[in-house]
Structures are given as structure tokens and as C-alpha cells.
A and B are shown apart, each in its own frame.
Chain A
Amino acid sequence: MNEEEQLMSEEEQLTTVREEATTVTPSVVPVKKREALFSKKNVQTLRDPLDDSNPVTVQVLGICSALAVTVQMKPALIMALGVTFVVAFSNLIVSMLRRTIPTRIRIIVQLIIVAMLVTIVDQLLKAYMFDISKKLSVFVGLIITNCIVMGRLEAFALAQRPWPAFLDGIGNGLGYGLILLVVAFFRELFGAGTLFGFKVVPQWAYDMGYVNNGLMVLPPAALFVIGIYIWWQRSRNRKLINAS
């Protein structure tokens, strides 16, 4: 099976999940025994997005921002925290409201919830970390349209109870953050010779003729790094080759 068919099937899955979410009537909820907060299934929900169903490399979500904010590690870390916050809480809120949102206008409702959370993050950054906020520029606003948020809302939160949805949000935020930090690590190390702003490549290396790689500062470098990461991940974990 080649990748196109798989993408297709993934899309179909998404739509079926959506349909399921829309056809569930409030009256047919079976009374279940209370699950432990960190039951096996919940831990699975939290851990899966870190590797096997990583939002960036496997689900193909949230790539735009992964490219733009990974020139240095510090903005990447802040961005990852912001996205984790937004995904987790929008998942929680939408999951709590899932029976009251009319399906026809659900996208608008979801976007408004997300936009509210993003506005909070944006205002907080402007108040306490102004220089980082300048560096991230429009990309904080673009968390609203970060496909991770919408993708998880549509695929998970609309059909699940609040606590698993919250965990799923945290997991996906961390999985996204992992990729962001890996990419930022290579780009900052080879592009500027620093990590988190500290000098890592010693001065004598420069004296001997070592030069920072200017390509790493340009956005395409992030695509190369993610592409190679995908290569490494899939050759290590062969079942992913057919999984996405």
C-alpha cells in the first residue's frame, strides 16, 4: 500500500470519526464503571503521541509552525508550551461541550474556544516575555489554525470524555514539542553554534576555520531535519511505514 492510499484512509477515518461524533445521541450513553485516573488506556493516550502517533511526523499536523519557530531553542520551547496549553484546554472544553455544540456550526464554535485560549497565551507572552513574543510574531496567532488543535478536536475530543481528551491534548502537545526541540537543537547548533543562547562550539574551532552553516538558519533546513527524522523513525519502527 503506498502513502497516498494511506493518507486517503486516514482522511476517511477522520471523517468517520466525525460522523460518529455527530450521530451519537445523548440518550445512548452506557453507564460505565469509573476508570482510574491513570488507567492503562489513559497512559496509552498520553504516551502514544510522543512516538507512534506523533502529530508532526506521523499525523502530518502542525507543520507550518514547526518550521518557523525552530531557528533557536528558546522560542521553540515557549511555542511548545503554548501549544500544549492550548491543545489540552481546548480539548477539555470542547469535550465538556460536545453534546451541546450543533454539528453544523461546530467548526466556528471550536475555533472561538481555541481563539480565546490563544488570545490568553498571546497577552501573557506580551506581558511577561516581550522579546520572545516579538520573535514568534504572527505564529502565536497561528496556533489557532495549527492543525494539531483542530485535528485533535475533530478526531478525539468530540467523541471522548473530558479527562482522556485532556490527556490526549497534553500528549500531542508534548509530541509536537519533542519534534520542535529536536529540530531546533540541530538548527541552532549548526546554524549559530549555540544552544539556548549559550556558546557550544568553542572559539578555537572558529579560529581553525569552522564556519556556521548559513543554510540551517533558513526555513527549508527544518524540512530537511524533519524529513531525516521521519526516515530514522520509520527505519527504526517499521510498522509506521504502512501506518501513515
Chain B
Amino acid sequence: MYELINIFIRAIFIENVIFAFFLGMCSFLAVSKKIKTASGLGLAVIFVMVLTTPLNYFILNYMLGEGALAWIHPSLASVDLTFLAFILFISTIAGAVQLVEMSVEKFMPALYASLGIFLPLITVNCSILGTSLFMQERQYTFAETAVFSLGAGVGFFLAIVLLAAIRERLRYSNVPQPLQGLGIAMIITALMGLAFLSFSGIKL
């Protein structure tokens, strides 16, 4: 149980997808102009992350991994399809996002109106695929995978809302003109990354 809590905390702070691995930067920089839209995207990312990473866990462990096909027939135990992981992971993510988009559009139009544009964007958010690939690399169990994906999603949410808050305040400061916008956003992200580095010394 302690191990699960540790993974959760680690995924949010110490191994934050944005500040420790710099995954999902594109949407992080492009959609962090206002806190409202930023938190909308953050929530959508949490949702998709929690949905797809465990799904990919099952695909990896019952279809792709070495000997994973043994449940069909013992003679298949030597088959190793791990090299197909990219294609299947990304198809799961794209398919899940498309399904979520269609069902939200049909059953919750109000939520769709506020999340609508972000949902397709999430497919190409590297942090989602990155989380699945880390799950594969670290060989998590199912419970660990579920907790890890939730933590990674919350970490993304936290990071994007923090940056949006800073950028909203930035309007009142006198930044050199060529540096305005993207340039200063990069430098702020770098400074925030340095701040988050201080978590890395913590042993859990």
C-alpha cells in the first residue's frame, strides 16, 4: 500500500511528466494562456490518461509481451510481439480518444462544448504515450499502473495550471518585445523546471 502511495506522489512531484521528462510540451505551451482553458485541458488529460494506460497494460501483458499469448495456447508461449507496441499503444489512445469524443458529444453536450477542441489534441500529447511507454519500461503491475497513470495526469494538470497562472500575471510586466510570448514562456518553464528539480533529492 505504501508503495502505491509512493508511486502516486512520485508521479506528481518528483517525476512530473512536464518538469522532469518534458513530455507534452507542445500543448503545455500552446494552451497555457488562460487558467480556465488550461484546467479544461488538464482535466481531459487526466481522464484520457487513466483510461488508456491500464488498457495498454492489458494489451501489453495479454497480447504483446514475451510469452503473453500463452493463455490462448501453450505453443504460443515463445511468441514475442513487443516490437508492435508503438502501433498498438497509439491506436488504443487514438481509438479511446475518438470514442470518448463521440460519447461526450452525444451524452454530455455541455462538457463537450468546454472540452471539445482539446480532446483530439490529446491524441498527440506525448505525455499520454510517454506514460504508457514508461509503464512498459518499468514493468509495473496493474495496481501500480493505475496509480501511476492517475499521478502522471494530476502532475500534468498541476503544471499547466501553474504556468497559466504565471502567464496571466505576465501581462503586467515589461518584457522585451522580441522575447514576449513564446520566448518568455520557455524561460519561465525552465525556471519552474529548476524549481521542480529540488524535489528530486527526496527519497520515497
A interface list, Cβ under 8 A from B: 2-4, 6-8, 11, 15, 57, 60-65, 67-68, 104-105, 107-108, 111-112, 114-116, 118-119, 122-123, 137-138, 141-142, 144-147, 150, 218-224, 226-228, 230-235, 238, 241, 244
What residues on A are CB-neighbors of B117 within 8 Å?
11, 15
B124 touches A141 (CB 8 A): no
- Which DSSP category, helix, strand, loop or mixed, fits chain B's interface? helix
What residues on A are CB-neighbors of B83 within 8 Å?
119, 122-123
CB-contacts of B10-47 with A (<8 A): 20-27, 29-30, 33-34
What residues on B are CB-neighbors of A234 within 8 Å?
177-179, 183
Q: How far is the CB of A207 from chain B (nearest CB, A)?
A: 30
A138 touches B130 (CB 8 A): yes
Q: How many A-B residue pairs have CB under 8 A?
A: 158
Q: CA–CA, A146 to B123, complex, Å?
A: 11
Contact of A4 among B33, B98, B126, B176 (CB under 8 A): B33
A112 touches B180 (CB 8 A): no
Q: How far is the CB of B117 from chain A (nearest CB, A)?
A: 8
Residue of B nearest to A104 (CB): B98
Q: CA–CA, A108 to B101, complex, Å?
A: 13
Residue of B nearest to A221 (CB): B190
Q: A107-B94, A107-B98 are in contact. Are A67 and B86 (CB under 8 A)?
A: no
Q: CA–CA, A146 to B27, complex, Å?
A: 11
What residues on B are CB-neighbors of A220 within 8 Å?
189-191, 193-194, 197
Q: What does the 1/0 interface line of B111-143 toward A look like (CB < 8 Å)? A: 000000100100111101110011001000000
What residues on B are CB-neighbors of A6 within 8 Å?
181
Q: What does the 1/0 interface line of B138-179 toward A look like (CB < 8 Å)? A: 000000000000000000000000000000000100001111
A selection of 17 A-B contacts at a CB cut-off of 8 Å is: A2-B171, A2-B181, A60-B26, A61-B26, A68-B21, A107-B98, A108-B95, A115-B90, A137-B137, A138-B134, A141-B133, A145-B128, A147-B27, A221-B190, A227-B187, A230-B183, A244-B182
What residues on B are CB-neighbors of A141 within 8 Å?
85-86, 129, 133
Does B186 count as interface, using CB distance less than 8 angstroms?
yes
Q: A107-B120, A144-B129 are in contact. Are A138 and B137 (CB under 8 A)?
A: yes
A60 touches B86 (CB 8 A): no
Closest 6 CB pairs of A and B: A3-B181, A223-B190, A234-B178, A227-B186, A220-B193, A220-B190
Q: CA–CA, A62 to B124, complex, Å?
A: 11
Q: CA–CA, A119 to B89, complex, Å?
A: 12
Q: CA–CA, A144 to B124, complex, Å?
A: 8
Q: CA–CA, A7 to B85, complex, Å?
A: 34
Q: CA–CA, A104 to B95, complex, Å?
A: 11
- Which DSSP category, helix, strand, loop or mixed, fits chain A's interface? helix
Q: CA–CA, A112 to B90, complex, Å?
A: 8
What residues on B are CB-neighbors of A241 within 8 Å?
177-178, 180
B183 touches A227 (CB 8 A): yes
A223 touches B183 (CB 8 A): no
Residue of B nearest to A109 (CB): B94
Q: CA–CA, A145 to B86, complex, Å?
A: 10
Residue of A nearest to B134 (CB): A138
Q: How far is the CB of B73 from chain A (nearest CB, A)?
A: 26
